[in-house]
Structure 1
Amino acid sequence: MKVIHEVVPAFAPKPIAHGTYETEPCTYFFLCEFREMLQSMPDVHKFAMGLAELHQSSRSPTGIFGFHMPTYSGNLPQQTEWNTSWEALFTENLRMALDHEIKAKGYDPEFDVLVPAVFGRVIPRLLRPLESDGRSIKPSLVHGDLWYANSGTDVNTSSPIIFDACCFYAHNEYEFGQWRPACNKFGAEYLDTYHTYVKKSEPEEDYDGRLDLYKLRFNTHVSALFPQNGQLREQMLGDMRDLVQRYA
């Protein structure tokens, strides 16, 4: 949150302190400035402009993808070790999420077919073109868990706010994998407005496929977070089946 606030101060509450409890060393706290918020969805244009500024103005300190420490979505870590290749980092990131999911819910026989196809065919098909044939993508600071409940609108300034991040330097479009699941409230108008500030990456014809691949990453991690919810496992398998049918 400190890194996000440094890039776009008006877009995130100012962090004040963090640490562990003296009497409970495995209990942690995070303190930031109080911002009273409206419960309605943030203004489309202001929100899209703020997110575009976060992605475009941020600079990876190493010039590559990753983060200087593991970041967590819920109570589970995600893979953020520095990597020169977005395809390679995303592959490791998704594999860690899948390992969490299998640990939480057990192995499914469909994985024998789907997992090799996703990692061996789908990911290279959709992500390798981003960094080949003279193309490249910038490592952008992403929020990393930007669903509607991690955003709001400041009552006093009417400015949009984002919080509860698990950020790292990634392909900027990775952010929108979290906007694909059914629970999302960021409609097409948010995405369309964002792309008036930031163009879709080339090859543009793979755009929908890339976002569906990124959706698989988020749905896999969410399924791991809720071991008793079998519907989330089926949602993840459905994502895999769809991607394999289209790209493998």
Structure 2
Amino acid sequence: MNYDGAEGLEFGGGNTKVDPSVLSELPKGCQVISTEGHGVSFWANTGRIDVELADGTPQKFFIKVISKEQGKHMMHGEFESMKTIHTLMPDFAPKPVAWGTYKSIPNTHFFLCDYKEMIDEMPDPHKFASRLAALHQNSKSPNGKFGFHITTYSGNLPQMNEWEDSWEVYFAKCLRKALDLELEAKGDDPEFHVLVPIIFEKVIPRLLRPLETEGRSIKPTLVHGDLWYANSGIDVDSDESLIFDACCFYAHNEYEFGQWRPVCNKFGAEYLAAYHSYVQISAPEEDYDGRLDLYKLRFNTHVSALFIENETLREQMLGDMRDLVKRYG
């Protein structure tokens, strides 16, 4: 966990104190009525702030608090990600309010957004897919390239977000970054020396180059970046699906579904089928399953790097590599 604590400013237990930097981002003239711990995060402390506006109207905010310089970059990346999604589709994500650093504890940083009461159920496949398709289709890279304007973090590890014209080049750099982090976390493995060169020299060109050759092209699309089922919910008030905890960049839209391949994710085949009723599969269609398995490798590599003690995650990643090399290497 990237959180060292904030004495006197913990959420809950009757405490109504918030840091001056947070208070300055709340509506002017409001009064903090209560704070409560809310939600679960592997990396941060999360809570809810209930306020009464100057006119007596109640309002609630969600806050995420984290420590150290790395935490500062994480909060900035999440704010920029959520702001980009909310600007494009304001009814698909809670409105981000601010990010910043505690005035009273300069090593502590926060992300603040509107609070949404959500039910812990899976959304209707077509309702969810139509919103995700709209996000993908209506987004536009500011410079026509793949990447993002700042580094975003999946968990507490950075992603490669530097701008690239080619999706093949961008994805290869993205996967290389994840592999470097995984090797740093868990050390070398003899199989890497055989499998990794084939992944980069054979598999990636075989599966991604056809997307951008022979007259084909793909649009850099805004992706959530970590869209597993726990980063989605259903708004109690509107009964509509929401997404949160994003680590965005502009990618091939199908990249989003690498996260849907592992069996632990509840966005199963019916969600993919619903999505592709709105957005057609990229050509060449016959490479679709292979592309998604390659994208899954990127997610599983990053997850293995995140959870250092879990050796099963490395074996899962190596299994992905073996399978891709066997099929395309």
TM-score, scaled relative to structure 2:
0.75
Q: Which residue of 1 aligns with 2:211?
A: 130
Look up the SS of the partner of 1:196 in the other structure.
coil
Structure 2 unpaired stretches of 5+: 1-81
1:144 alignment partner in structure 2: 225
Answer yes or no: is 1:178 the counterpart of 2:275. Answer: no
Trace 1:80-229 onto structure 2 (pairs within 5 A): 80-229=161-310
**What is the CA distance between 1:176 and its match in structure 2?**
0.1
| Offset at residue 244 of structure 1 (A) | 0.2
Structure 1 or 2: more strand by fraction: 2
Letter in 1 for 2:287: D
Aligned to 1:202, the other structure's residue is in SS state: coil
Structure with bigger helix share is 1
Measured against aligned partners, the alpha-carbon deviations of 1:176-217 in whole angstroms (never above 9, x if no partner) come to 000001211001111000001000000000000000000000
Shift of the alpha carbon at 1:25? 3.2
| Local SS of the residue matching 1:9 | coil
* Aligned mates of 1:60, 1:209 — CA distance in 2: 25
Unaligned runs of 5+ in 1: none
- Residue number in structure 2 paired with 1:39: 120
Secondary structure (helix, strand or coil) at the match of 1:145 reads coil
Q: Which runs of 4+ in 1 moved over 4 A?
A: none
Tell me the C-alpha RMSD between the 2 structures: 0.7
Question: 1:40-91 CA deviation, whole Å, 9 max, x = no partner?
Answer: 1011111000100010000100111100011000110000100000000000
Cα distance in 1 between the residues matched to 2:173 and 2:144: 19
Counterpart pick for 1:234 among 296, 306, 315 = 315
CA–CA distance in structure 2, aligned partners of residues 91 and 199 of structure 1: 24
Q: 2:145 is matched with which residue?
A: 64
**Superposition pairs of residues 13-28 of structure 1, within 5 angstroms:** 13-28=94-109
> Aligned to 2:327, what secondary structure does the other structure show?
helix
Q: Which has the higher contact order (CA 8 A, sep 6+)?
A: 1
Task: Tell me how far 1:22 sits from its aligned partner.
Answer: 2.2
Percent of counterpart pairs with the same letter? 72
Q: 1:29 is matched with which residue? A: 110
Counterpart amino acid of residue 254 in structure 2:
E
Aligned-residue offset at 1:23: 3.6
Which structure has the larger Rg over C-alpha atoms? 2
Q: 2:131 aligns with which of 42, 50, 54?
A: 50
| Cα shift at 1:21 | 1.7
